[in-house]
Structure 1
Amino acid sequence: MPFATTRATLSRQWALLRQLPSRSPGVTSAELVWRLRDVGFSVSKRTVERDLNELSLIFPLERNDKSIPFGWHWSASAGELRGHFDLLDYLRDDPLKAAPGQGLALQAWVSDALARRLRETPLGADMHLTALEQGHRLRATVSDDAPLRWWLLGQGDDLMVELPQALREEIGRILASAAARYRD
């Protein structure tokens, strides 16, 4: 999927999430079409329904099936998350970037594809990519926390932690455990 199309989809889905009420009965897909048009997105009802179904797999959304048309809303457990979480602020804060004078010196092998993405969105100001015969060597100072581990694990076989050794072993144990669950 081209980058511009992906960005448009993400922007539309983020706008859609912002239109959802925090309680039942919720808002219908048809109403969401109009709300999205008001904020600059011209989409079909089917596109909104498809987006809602996809987003409900990731976010705590609920569909009120008690009457037709169905109403969509944030689940009761999402009030805390929705009330205090702003994706744009989160991305501006750069969750992997270490605070000045702190952090973990990460060294990893990354695929060419991941290197291209990292050039567009670097992990931090001191990030360096060095071309290898196959792939690239990544060096960066990053925060040593859960978001780093989620990001590392989310890269699959596009990344292999080289240093620090303790982090390499930790990620290796997690991946080995996950792989063992797929055997049988």
Structure 2
Amino acid sequence: MTDTLLRHWVMLRRIPRHPRKVTVRELLDYLRDQGYTTTERTIQRDLNRLSGQIFGLMQDDRSRPHGWCWGRDAVQMDIPGMEPQTALAFKLAEHFSGRLMAPSTRSSLEPYFRQAEQVLAETPSPVSAWPEKIQSTTRGQSLIPPAVDAGILHVVYDGLFNDRQFRARYQRRYDGEVRDYVISPLGIVFRDGVVYLVCQRNGQDEVVHLAMHRFLEAEGLDEPVHRPADFDLSDYVHRGGLNFKLSEEPLAITLRVTAETAVHLEETPLSEDQRMTAEVDARRQLTATVPDTAQLRWWLMGLGDQAEVIAPDALRDELIGRIRRALAQYQ
């Protein structure tokens, strides 16, 4: 009886979740490798007995040979059971990282998320209320994230997982023109609710980023991605790749900032080489070397009268022109 129970347990652990399947013959070979002597008929009989409401096993009668799998919504069964702290980790991962996961990854974790929800609901301790005590937010204006087609998202993530190219139709932002590309995906970046694909197009060496919600169609290809040897996604982002770079040369900027803004920038510096010196009117002078990007302009304009650009002259003149045009709209 003990040997049968162990054989059942080993067999159940080998069965995948829908849509993947395993055949009786594959289970037989696996059990023999694990030291259990049995037959295909015995395994088929065991599967028929174990399927149903308790274990939620399914047989696909359409395929030949027939395949077995756990149902998509079958309860995740673990021995030992999930501890409250583990359940909390899954719940936080679902809350804060759900959108970062590929659809296939999230689908495979859904049973754990639901099990975690059940464990926390049944746990008579303050730990069950922990997800309600944590939130994340952005300093900028909250915006509703654009919708991304689920089928397109699947194609893109599949290409990233398997280092495969895909063919896509994309609508450009600045002129609305629709273009067809063969894309080599290199990475995904999430920024303020918008998902960007970092990639190369049509065999070109240039690395660009495309907003996922502007893809109109996508179809996977069998062609491998030729990833640049020196490409690093973290370095691409750090160097301002997503900030709409205006030039490859960095800017050495000098700002005069209020005491309040100075405190903020001392805690969260603009760059590694940032320096501050005091001025006579309680303001501070700041120097830093930063990427030359459109994002830098938006940030400086957002500071309003909290910051004044001293250098370089070209940047100062550009912001003066923007401020004058903005003022003219209110006069």
Counterparts of 2:149 and 2:318, CA distance in 1? 32
Query: 1:107·1:163 contact (CA, 8 Å) conserved in 2?
Result: yes
Match of 2:145 in 1: 60
| Partners of 1:60 and 1:77 within 8 A in 2 | no
Shift of 1:159: 0.5
Q: Distance in 1 between matches of 2:190 and 2:303?
A: 24
TM-score for both structures, normalised by structure 2: 0.32
Which structure 1 residue ranges, 4+ long, deviate > 6 Å from structure 2? 77-80
- Map Cα deviations across residues 34-91 of structure 1 (whole Å, 9 max, x no partner): 7xx8995216xxx9xxx9xxx9951335xxxxxxxxxxxxx248978xx83234969x
Q: CA deviation at 1:138?
A: 0.8
The structure that is helix-richer by fraction is: 1
In the alignment, the residues of structure 2 paired with residue 56 and residue 142 of structure 1 have an alpha-carbon distance, to the nearest angstrom, of 23
In the alignment, does 2:238 pair up with 1:93?
A: yes
In structure 2, distance between residues paired with 1:17 and 1:56: 22
* Correspondence for 1:18 among 87, 99, 108: 99
- Report deviation, 1:94: 6.8
Name the count of aligned residue pairs: 134
Question: What is aligned with 2:310?
Answer: 162
Q: Give the alignment's Cα RMSD to 1 decimal.
A: 4.5
| Correspondence 1:130 to 2:211 | no
Gaps of 5+ in 2: 1-91, 104-116, 121-127, 158-187, 193-233
**Which of 243, 250, 261 matches 1:103?**
250
Question: What code does the residue aligned with 1:112 have?
Answer: A
Please state which structure has a larger fraction of its residues in strand. 2
Answer 1 or 2: higher relative contact order, Cα 8 Å, separation at least 6.
Answer: 1
Q: Runs of 5+ in structure 1 lacking a partner? A: 1-10, 23-33, 62-74
Q: Does 1:120 align with 2:210?
A: no
Aligned partners of 2:269, 2:323: CA distance in 1, in Å?
A: 24
Identity of aligned residues (%): 30
The CA deviation at 1:160 is: 0.6
Separation in structure 2 between the aligned mates of residue 142 and residue 116 of structure 1, nearest angstrom: 19
Q: CA deviation at 1:172?
A: 0.9
Q: Which has the greater radius of gyration?
A: 2
